[in-house]
Structure 1
Amino acid sequence: MPPDLAPVLQLLRAHAAQPLDAHEAAMTAEVIRFAEAHPDCLWRTCVPGHLTGSAWIVSPDRKRTLLTHHHKLDKWLQLGGHADGDGDLLAVALREAREESGLTRLRVVSPAVFDVDRHWIPPRKTEPGHYHHDLRFMIEADPAEPLVISNESKDLAWVDVASVTSLNPEESMARMVRKTLAAA
């Protein structure tokens, strides 16, 4: 195992030790097995899939979250993206959050993984279909800070956490909503 995967596996194993619902527990175990079996899993050239880092950006009162209307996937999602070889998935999530939102005053709520998800990315012109094995971190930001929409987004919006599933009802999003509401 390359040394740069050791911190990722440590984060995943710590997350797996937390009380998780059955679906997330199974996905977390799958992501651990995937990372152990694919030393190149931090690179998007790893064709079966690769690790990604996402930021579940919340307001200080945890009542709102920042979502992007993803340009290619045409759905409302948390901000995030490819590791591109970086084994520090929290740093990846922060980098992607800055690049995709223009926010500069981000605060890590916890360095621990907030959520793990494994989801299919459909094929595109130059890229076969593959899985994203996504480590998500809770990040806090000020909703008053100006936003800058990147070319990866159709839009950005602060959304009431309780209303997120009206924009994207997928279990992946609903689970983060439940966790956020339970913690508040």
Structure 2
Amino acid sequence: MIRNNILELLRVYRSDDPLENSMLQDTIQFIEEHPDCFERSLLVGHVTGSAWILNRECTHALMMHHKKLDKWFQPGGHCDGDPDVMAVAAKEAWEETGVTVEPVSTAVFDVDHHMIPENKGVPRHTHYDIRFLFRANKTADELPSNPEAKAVRWIPLEEVENYNSTPSIMRLVKKSLG
């Protein structure tokens, strides 16, 4: 079963945050109930992979201003059938930022789910987002442009709330600050 690896990672993951624990249980249940959970064609929702990227000093996070949603987020995207969610997160990080990253750990860093609004004939649906922690091999002063983003920027952790203060993003910052 291609879902076993991610289910194992999720079953051993623990959070101090009650809301995240609820989303973790929802995500496990969703994956167990949907063999095609990694496919974008599953219109009720699907698993996505995200990369929370810190610089070597762990003082800045790499974020992008998403064009479609007009909000700042961590890089990430659809699995498109790939059950290796960490590999998906790393691939999306490279595609969306041009920055080479390496995983800090193979463990899950955070779990979230959120509604995506209807867009271009795709109905409203849920993204079950599994996040992994990465460090950038190098922090470039100039980041390449990305057709999916209005901007890509290294943001000091203390300033992330000025870009996106949602509980989901602030939880990532809190974990990063230890």
Q: 1:102–1:146: 8 Å Cα contact kept in structure 2? A: no
Distance in 1 (alpha carbons) for counterparts of 2:119 and 2:83 = 26
Distance in 1 (alpha carbons) for counterparts of 2:65 and 2:15 = 31
Q: 2:63–2:74: 8 Å Cα contact kept in structure 1? A: yes
Q: 1:130 — aligned with what?
A: 125
Question: What's the TM-score, normalizing by structure 2?
Answer: 0.96
SS at match of 2:3: helix
The Cα shift of 1:19 comes to: 3.7
SS at match of 1:4: coil
Tell whether 2:41 aligns with 1:41.
Answer: no
Distance in 2 (alpha carbons) for counterparts of 1:125 and 1:144 = 34
Tell whether 2:69 aligns with 1:78.
Answer: no
Q: 1:63 — aligned with what?
A: 59
The Cα shift of 1:154 comes to: 0.6
| Ranges in structure 1 where 5+ consecutive residues have no aligned partner | none
| Ranges in structure 2 where 5+ consecutive residues have no aligned partner | none
Tell whether 2:158 aligns with 1:162.
Answer: yes
5 Å matches for 1:1-184? Answer: 3-15=1-13, 18-104=14-100, 106-141=101-136, 142-144=138-140, 146-182=142-178
Q: 2:63–2:72: 8 Å Cα contact kept in structure 1? A: yes
Question: What's the TM-score, normalizing by structure 1?
Answer: 0.93
The Cα shift of 1:120 comes to: 0.6
Q: What amino acid does structure 2 have at the position aligned with 1:147?
A: L
Q: What amino acid does structure 2 have at the position aligned with 1:139?
A: F
The Cα shift of 1:145 comes to: 6.3
CA distances 1:110-138 after superposition (whole Å, capped 9, x unpaired): 11110000011000122000000000011
Distance in 2 (alpha carbons) for counterparts of 1:76 and 1:158 = 12
Q: 2:99–2:139: 8 Å Cα contact kept in structure 1? A: no
CA distances 1:135-177 after superposition (whole Å, capped 9, x unpaired): 0011101223642121111100000011111111111001001
Once the two structures are aligned, what percentage of the paired residues are identical? 45
**RMSD in angstroms over aligned alpha carbons?**
1.0
SS at match of 2:114: strand
Distance in 2 (alpha carbons) for counterparts of 1:114 and 1:19 = 9
CA distances 1:22-52 after superposition (whole Å, capped 9, x unpaired): 0000000000000001111100111110000
Q: 1:103–1:146: 8 Å Cα contact kept in structure 2? A: no
